[in-house]
């Protein structure tokens, strides 16, 4: 880590250490030695949301899922508008939503996110995040804003309802052949929204009665978050209000969701479901323009945008 990098790291630590919110993990300490840096956060004994949502065991009931969604939304809203420096998380996903036995819900891994000065509204940065949750602007010549986190949160909301990854090979392989074109859950959710058949989107593990009206509300909010144009997406403050029921839920703009069908075709068109089964998966790459913090660009050869593999990895300066 160079002198400039160390200075920037310590500056970020100074900002992050002063952040206090019930839905954000607390920074307990840090270490910056040589080329390595480490952040130490409070312990959350139930682990991350993905462990409770996707793995075998007692499923989260609907009321707890809604509580988690609202808490995570509140945490992100504070990062975006409650701090002196706006913080764009850049990697919103179930793995970065932590839980504890006291029904605590806290956003994690925002320590190395992007800080935005008060006089800024957006930035150019190198690609970071996790495929499957990335907003379209990561892969176009577009600036990254707080609405980039909103898109990722919309993907998380759908997974909270469904109880599975939006694109799960295991669940896809169990589908009958006639249903496999519907393997990309955001497209399924859009179709069922248009038909107002929200009951067909519920996680089958939820045996107890759930509130269909609440399911519909969450699906609508999720689809609004997934609007292709960032300016059509709600703020995280509005998302939290709609999930809580204190704000009227927006009606999704269908014309702004047509990109989802292209993403679904991207899944089905990768030639990974042919005679060779899963052979060749993730071998196809896409050339994408990525922007560095100084605005310069370069071409990145990325595997298929929609897979759920992690892109972020360790973030060293």
The CB density around residue 181, as the number of other CB atoms within 10 Å, is 13
Concatenated DSSP letters for 38-84? EEEE---TTEEHHHHHTSSSSPPPHHHHHHHHHHHHHHHHHHHHTSS
**Under 8 Å between Cβ of 311 and 126:** no
Residue 36 tokens, joined: 């390595």
Handedness of CA 94, 97, 98, 101 (dihedral sign): negative
Q: Which residues are catalytic?
A: 91
149 closest CA partner among 191, 206, 86, 211? 86
Interhelix angle 236-244/146-162, nearest 10 degrees: 30
The CB density around residue 14, as the number of other CB atoms within 10 Å, is 9
Residue 48 tokens, joined: 């991350």
How far apart CA 176 and CA 162 sit, in angstroms, is: 18
Bridge partners (DSSP) listed for residue 310: 130
Angle at 278 between CA 274 and CA 283, to 5 degrees: 95
Going from the C-alpha of 202 to that of each of 61, 85, 220, the distances in angstroms are: 11, 38, 14
Show contacts of 292-296: CB within 8 Å, 24+ apart: 292/124, 292/125, 292/126, 293/123, 293/124, 293/125, 293/126, 294/124, 295/124
Largest separation between any pair of C-alpha atoms in the chain: 59
**Under 8 Å between Cβ of 120 and 141:** no
């Amino acid at each position: 880590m160079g002198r400039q990098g160390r200075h920037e790291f310590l500056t970020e630590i100074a900002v992050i250490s002063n952040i206090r919110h019930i839905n954000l993990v607390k920074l307990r300490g840090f270490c910056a030695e040589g080329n390595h840096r480490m952040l130490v956060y409070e312990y959350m004994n139930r682990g991350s949301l993905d462990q409770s949502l996707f793995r075998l065991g007692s499923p989260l009931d609907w009321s707890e899922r809604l509580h988690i969604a609202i808490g995570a939304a509140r945490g992100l809203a504070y990062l975006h508008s409650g701090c002196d420096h706006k913080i764009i998380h850049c990697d919103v996903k179930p793995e970065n939503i932590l839980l504890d036995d006291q029904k605590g819900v806290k956003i994690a891994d925002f320590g190395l996110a992007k800080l935005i000065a008060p006089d800024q509204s957006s930035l150019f940065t190198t690609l970071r995040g996790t495929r499957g949750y990335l907003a379209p602007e990561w892969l176009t010549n577009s600036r990254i804003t707080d609405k980039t986190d909103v898109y990722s949160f919309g993907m998380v909301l759908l997974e909270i309802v469904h109880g599975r990854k939006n694109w799960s090979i295991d669940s896809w392989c169990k589908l009958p052949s006639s249903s496999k074109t519907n393997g990309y859950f955001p497209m399924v959710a859009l179709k069922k929204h248009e038909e107002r058949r929200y009951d067909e989107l519920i996680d089958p593990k939820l045996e107890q009665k759930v509130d269909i009206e609440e399911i519909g509300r969450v699906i609508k909010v999720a689809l609004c978050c997934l609007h292709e144009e960032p300016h059509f997406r709600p703020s995280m403050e509005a998302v939290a209000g709609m999930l809580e029921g204190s704000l009227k839920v927006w009606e999704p703009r269908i014309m702004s969701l047509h990109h989802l069908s292209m993403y679904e075709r991207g899944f089905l068109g990768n030639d990974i479901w042919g005679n060779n089964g899963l052979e060749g998966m993730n071998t196809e790459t896409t050339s994408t323009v990525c922007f560095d913090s100084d605005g310069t660009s370069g071409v990145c050869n990325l595997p298929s945008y929609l897979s759920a593999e992690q892109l972020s990895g360790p973030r060293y300066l």
